[in-house]
Chain A
Amino acid sequence: MSLTDRAVETRSSHGSASRSGFTRLHPKKWLLFFVTALLAVLTVFPLLWMLSSSFKGLNDVNSLSLIPAAPTLANFVYVFTEVPFLTYMFNSFFVATVVTVGALFFHSMAAYALSWLRFPGRNVIFLAIFSTFLVSLPVILVPLFILAKFLGLLNNFGGLIIPALFNAFGIFLLRQFYLGIPKELGEAATLDGCNYWQTYWHLILPLSRPVLSALAVFFFLANWNSFLWPLTITNDQNLWMVQIGIANFQNQYAGSWNYIMAASVVAAIPTLMLFFFFQRQLVTSIKASGFK
């Protein structure tokens, strides 16, 4: 469950000594541990509260106890039967998956050209891409909406997917990784008669599996959680993604916090599962984003 590679190193290098000497830990370290642990518990408490409340009945939902007095699944049943939640989840899953796969494909191609191929204007193109880092969705929302309308991207999957494909972050990260791959490998591939596409497909892509999986987790999470863009370009309920679904659910069931918390848990579970299974990949991509 360690968040970073270093943590693993720390633990293994101290190994059994620190484990058997657990009680012999310096008192200062104990104090530090308790303070940190207390803060960590406070940090996750709101999420535990959400989970607990999703199992409480309407009369019970404002009680102070973390363990529900009479745990019930009724809230979840209600959410799935009264609202097309499965459709929302399918839409989110579909959009997030297509965006992730498409973005990784395009970005790795661009990054390969920007790191391994030599052509005039390469650095200018890279800096131009890099500078789009400063542009964020809320700032260009209005013109992007008008453009999407003009291109016929309102109220369809194309509009949810295509504009979400393009960002500088993935190109930047992949390019950094590709610059680190020894060029001798490329020369060997050329001698074997590989053309540029074959070098990219048979050499670069397999080698970049770690960074691609890190980015995949990052992109999937970002798209599953995205709200503003789907909110702006879809009003057809059949196209709603899960975040729009629950935001609307709150309008409808204001005050029924047991239902709202159950819906929130359903929307959060896929992201939490991704986090628990792929946290190393996620942390890798975040660390790499702190460019040096």
Chain B
Amino acid sequence: MTSGSLIAKEQAPIQPRKDPPKRGLSRKHREWIAAALFLTPDLIGLFIFLGIPMLMSLLLGFFSADGFGNFTFVGFGNYVQMFSDAQFMNSLRTTLLYIVAFVPGLFITSLLLALLVKQKIPFVGVLRSMFFVPNVISLVVVGFVWKFILIDKIGLLNQILQSAGISGISWLGDPNLALWSVIAITIWFSMGYYMIIFLAGLQEISPEFYEASMLDGANAWQTFWKVTWPLLRPTSFFVLLVSLVSAVAGSQGFDLIYVMTRGGPANATELGIFYIYEQAFQFNNYGYAAAMASFVVAILLVATIIMFAVTKGGSFESD
């Protein structure tokens, strides 16, 4: 996977055959028709199940829609309503807090793990598998296992803390703690996946750079900042982008929160995406939910653009 561009390089044309074209269709046109047929199933599917919903979510925001197929045009009503909806504003704050803690936390954890398991140490293959294994478990199961470990008083963690003289911590019941617990669990779940991506990035750095740096007498710390860090930039950018998108969209957060806290206690873990789900599927406010969802998409776009800008155009080349 060294090809640098997303755009396919023009391929050398296949030698045209000398025999006369069949049934008046030139070879070029037959190739076009073949391409169209090969692409049809996926293009139709992507258009219907991703394209149309994207367009719909923009339009739907201008309607008041209940669950029975009644649509009433309300103009910007939904958008006005959401900025005066304290619970939605609170859920945006929670989402922001979640992103600000999750993205860097995950980045540092998985990079450190990758640096550890890149070393030539005994059983390194087994150790890598152990770090990765939480990622293959479903988030529903992950939610249960941690809920069980974190229960008040009788949970494993609180029993251990009790023997150290610390008691009365309510990991999921204390509004000041619950979100942090959920974030930590999400990092535990995701870190193995990003560790593999970092490891692949680290292994692509040519050993010659390290040898040169060693000859220059650089210590491990200097080598990391002068060699590894700049050369790892494309991977770092990818990790930041993907984890940011998954944090805003609540790809992991939703399942965990549904299973563990249902947005509580006192809405402390109510991510934007979870509030939108409740508005749609518990209160049947589909139009309002769609308006809020398109606002989340707008945030996502802005965040992505900022990230491209901060990482110097997201250039995949390291200078």
Interfacial residues, chain A to chain B (CB-CB below 8 A): 1-4, 6-8, 10-11, 14, 18, 22, 25, 29, 32-33, 35-37, 39-41, 43-44, 46-47, 49-50, 53, 62, 64, 106-107, 109-110, 112-120, 122-123, 125-127, 129-130, 132, 134-147, 162-163, 165-166, 168, 171, 175-176, 179-180, 183, 186-187, 190, 195-197, 200, 221, 224-225, 227-228, 231-232, 243, 246-247, 250, 257, 260-261, 264, 267-268, 271-272, 274-275, 279, 282-283, 286-292
- Inter-chain CA distance A146–B234, complex, in Å, is 39
CB-CB contacts of B37-55 with A at 8 A, as 1s and 0s? Answer: 0110111011011111110
Chain B residues contacting A107 (CB-CB under 8 Å) are: 42
Which residues from A are CB-within-8-Å of B132? 3, 275, 279, 283
A46 with B145: CB separation less than 8 A: yes
In the complex, chain B residues whose CB is within 8 Å of the CB of A33: 121-123
| A46-B15 Cα distance, complex, nearest whole Å | 60
Question: Secondary structure at chain A's binding surface: helix, strand, loop or mixed?
Answer: helix
In the A-B complex, the 3 residue pairs with the closest CB atoms = A2-B125, A143-B56, A225-B138
Which segment of B175-183, B223-231, B249-257 sits at the interface? B249-257
In the assembled complex, the Cα of A268 lies from the Cα of B142 at a distance in Å of: 9
Residue of A62, A135, A243, A283 with most partner-chain B CB within 10 A: A135
Q: Smallest CB–CB gap between B307 and chain A, Å?
A: 12
Contact (Cβ within 8 A) A142 B57: yes
A-B contact count (CB 8 A): 317
Q: How far is the CB of B20 from chain A (nearest CB, A)?
A: 15
Q: Is the CB of B286 within 8 A of A62?
A: no
In contact, A271 and B136 (Cβ under 8 angstroms): yes
Report the minimal beta-carbon distance from A167 to chain B, rounded to whole angstroms.
8
Min CB distance B67 to A, Å, is: 9
- 5 CB contacts below 8 A, A to B, read A22-B122, A36-B119, A40-B126, A64-B159, A228-B255
Establish whether residues B1 and A286, one from each chain, have CB atoms under 8 Å apart when the complex forms: no
Check if B76 is an interface residue, CB within 8 A of chain A. Answer: no
Please measure, in the bound complex, the distance between the C-alpha atom of A6 and the C-alpha atom of B11, giving whole angstroms: 32
Once A3-B125, A268-B138 are accepted as A-B contacts, the answer to whether A290 and B235 lie under 8 Å apart by CB is yes
